[in-house]
Amino acid sequence: MDPRLQLAIANYRTGKRTAASSSTTDDELPVVARVKSFDEWKALPGVFAGCQLGRTGDDSWIVTGRIPVQRIETVRAQPTVISLKASQPLHPSLAATIEAMGVSPKALPKGTASDGGSGVVVGVVDFGCDFMHENFRQSDRKTRLLALWHQAGVAKPDSPFGYGRVHTRMDIDNALASANPYAVLGYGPPVDPSGTHGTHVLDIAAGNGLGSGQPGVAPKADLIFVEISTSDIAWQGPAAVGQTFGDSVHLLEAVRFVFDSAGDRPCVCNLSLGTNGGPHDGTSLVEQGLDAIVNEKPNRAIVIAASNSQADGIHTIGQVPGASTHDIRWRQQGRGGGEIEIWYPKPSRLEVTVVGPDGATFGPVLPGANASFGATGKIAIFIGSRVDDPNNGDNAIGIWVADGLAGTDWSVRLRSPDGKPVDYHAWIERNDGAQASFVASAATHCLGSISTGHDSIVVGSYDAHMPAYPISYFSSAGPTRDGRNKPEVSAPGQNVVAARSRTGTGVTRKSGTSMAAPAVTGLIALIFSEARRKHLDLSISALRAKLIGQALKDPPKVPAASWDPQYGNGRTNGASILP
């Protein structure tokens, strides 16, 4: 393999990340390849195909593309790949999403006139909204945003829930009329070479194309954005054990703000956020809160990304035998440390011991107890065991290992004190710097921490640039831990080009279920707009039935009434707008 590719892989495994460039996303490399078939090259999962440069004397082809670092070895091993070295960019369009979903004005069913989602509020809770981008402005240069709540901003007496700064439509318009809108408003998206996540997500759902030339799914919807603060969640140290977005007060209050601001207007809120931990059964307090908000009134929906962990080996499942101990092995990436959660049902009990790469043991820790290991004031390993969770009655074990400890394989040793077998699920928490994985991972139950609620719409990702619409290699599979079928549907989420922050008119390419979810958010805005035109109210169950009932099959190649762990019930389609 090319030495530069080997170096990139080695850096990735030790936690050194590859920054985005003008033509690549984070941890992605441009490549040029010699392949037996360009069609086979384009069909390889994880490859963003560039151009076909020409045929060589041995009838192979020189092609370009970009590949996530973690997929390079897999792609290089494919029979069609003869040589793999470097690349140049190719820029697709958000039009692929619009076409694949059948949501362009010309493609919508006859007799419908949803008018681009007019009369509907699209809310996005995310990071980095570029209110200056032309796609979020009207033809008179004024903003399309009804409000922007910066949760980490300096509070005013009337701030929601007593914190952050709300920028009204008037505030934003006044800033836009100035020479330096970001400074005048006191808010702007951070400088990011690949563009901010929130700007990209908002454009897919409801950009109007005034700057980029390509509108999103619901270009006439009104917009609300919440720049979420995650300071209420401990992300490092022993306090991180057992905490996920499922515990975030800020997240719940952000969604509450979106729907309260929308008032009686139909509203759909997009959450392209999540972590890996949590009970995965819809009982986290955030998921219960989201369900309650949706069910307060008709014409409300919350759309959540399924997560991007399918290829990361972050989930495992098994049974602790009654007569002996049981080891779960997890593999560190460099010295990245990390956190594991293990969930098992009531009334069982499990004793836990952590075993280091050198055989050193930490524990045992009894059910309901906790223990810290390390020097005074410098905890290196923390083990917490919680029994009888108040929300589902189940039991959970959380393990945190500090960065910098020995890498390679660690083990969690479990024992059933009463001698009865115990089934369990385990997840490794998300770590974008150095993601650990289970040695024996399971490809199911990989949904995100807030993606298993009862009344949210959860979305998987497929690649709309390939004729066969293959599922994205990263798109997390269901079902939920309690056996419900999630995700509900799928949408284009791979290599999606949409608004790039701090460019005014520019675009950037991103991949993830984060890009699939807003496509469905936009579709729901179209559905609500059409229902509003016909004076119809839609409950969340009726909305779900419309999305599922019109979902396209083949792919996924399952019977019409069946569900696929990654595609869900099928690929969302504009025919869902029909009454």
What phi and psi, each to the nearest 5 degrees, are found at residue 290? -65, -40
Do residues 33 and 83 make contact, with C-beta atoms less than 8 angstroms apart? yes
The fold for domain 117-233+243-310+449-577 equals: Rossmann fold (3.40.50)
Looking at the predicted structure, is the pLDDT value of residue 86 above 50? no
Count the neighbouring beta carbons within 10 Å of the beta carbon of residue 512: 23
Question: Average pLDDT of the chain?
Answer: 91
Q: Report domain 315-438's class.
A: mainly beta
CA 555 from centre of chain: 22
CB 229 within 8 A of CB 125: no
Least confident of 85-89, 93-97, 136-140: 85-89
The residues, ordered by sequence, that sit 6+ positions from 407 with a Cβ below 8 Å of its Cβ are 332, 333, 334, 335, 336, 357
Cα gap 119→266, rounded to integer Å: 7
Return the axis-axis angle of helices 540-549 and 513-533, rounded to nearest 10°: 110
pLDDT reported for residue 27: 79
pTM of the model: 0.87
- Kindly report which listed range (275-289, 370-384, 504-518) carries the lowest average pLDDT score: 370-384
Q: What is the mean pLDDT of residues 87-106?
A: 75
| pLDDT tens-digit series, residues 174-209 | 999 999 999 999 999 999 989 999 999 999 999 999
Q: Tokens 């994205």: give the residue.
A: 472
Residues with Cβ < 8 Å from 538, sequence gap 6 or more? 298, 299, 527, 528, 531, 546
Contact (CB, 8 A) for 337 and 380:
no
- Candidates 498, 499, 497, 493; CA nearest to 130 is 499
* pLDDT score for 8: 78
What's the pLDDT score for residue 88? 31
pLDDT one-digit tens code per residue, 237-289? 776 777 676 778 889 999 999 999 999 999 999 999 999 999 999 999 889 98
Calpha distance 174→165 (Å, rounded): 16
CB distance 243 to 277 below 8 Å: yes
pLDDT score of 219: 98
HSE-CB at 135 with a 13 A cutoff on CA atoms is 32
Tokens of 303: 């759309």
- Which pLDDT band holds residue 54 (cuts at 50, 70, 90)? low
| Predicted local distance difference test score (pLDDT) of residue 24 | 67
pLDDT value of position 20: 60
Q: Provide the pLDDT confidence category of residue 11 given band limits of 50, 70 and 90.
A: confident
Closest CA to 350 of 377, 319, 393: 319
240/475: higher pLDDT: 475
- The pLDDT, as a whole number, for residue 19 is 64
Domain ranges of the chain: 3-84, 117-233+243-310+449-577, 315-438
Choice between 559 and 134, residue whose per-residue pLDDT is larger: 134
Neighbours of 417 (CB within 10 A): 13
- State yes or no: pLDDT of 4 exceeds 90: no
Does the pLDDT value for residue 89 go beyond 50? no
pLDDT at 21: 56
Per DSSP, the three-state class of 121 is: strand
CB 143 within 8 Å of CB 176: yes
Signed CA dihedral, 474, 480, 483, 488: sign only: negative
- 493: phi > 0 → left, psi -120 to 50 → alpha, else beta; which? alpha
pLDDT of residue 87: 42
